[in-house]
Structure 1
Amino acid sequence: MTRSHLKLQQLDVHTDYRSRGAGRMLTDWGINEADELGLKSCEESILFAIPIYEKYGLGHIDSLEPDVAVLNPMPKWKGDATDGLRVAMMSRPTGQNYRDDVGGAP
């Protein structure tokens, strides 16, 4: 990413409080802020969350496979490394939903 953009922060709502609108409210707020500033909205997402961000108008523009080669990793890191840590790069143009002809990284 080489141009100005607003990166949405990843969030997770506790299972006891899901489906009450907190995640939607926070995501809508971030996208509205980006629109007001004239910036694209961007997000790094885990693969299973791509459909969630697509509902907000973000499009899947690229995927990254993190380099998990670490000297003397903790046991948890070893487990995470085998779980497929592929990350989806999501983007939304200013003021509109993602389309292939106006998409791409900022």
Structure 2
Amino acid sequence: MSVTVDDDLWSAVGDPTRRRMLDLLLSEGTATATSLSQHLPVTRQAVAKHLVVLDRVGLVHASTAGREKQFHVDHAQLARAVAQLADVGAAWDSRLQRIKRIAEAVQRGTDTNTEKR
């Protein structure tokens, strides 16, 4: 079972500051780099750089409102990320079940050999 994973997408959401930014954008609807920086332990410039990363993978988009850019989450891309994570989780569940069955078989074999002695 092979699961296709968008490495750029997962690299982008792998950063805790970017995940927090997504949380803030989801709760607020839209926000500027300045307004996001007021809720994060990083500078406005750092927030702007994080937003570039999130925009590059399609998780956020910007619209210009006067002199500021308002950012919002792309819900379709976020749903794609969630689906990928669910697929990866299902694949690992399957692998872990196989490992469990092998370990139980080995344990049963060990128990049988111990009883014969």
Q: What is the TM-score normalised by the length of structure 2? A: 0.29
Q: Structure 1 or 2: larger strand share?
A: 1
Larger Rg: 2
Which structure carries more helix by proportion? 2
* TM-score after normalising by structure 1: 0.31
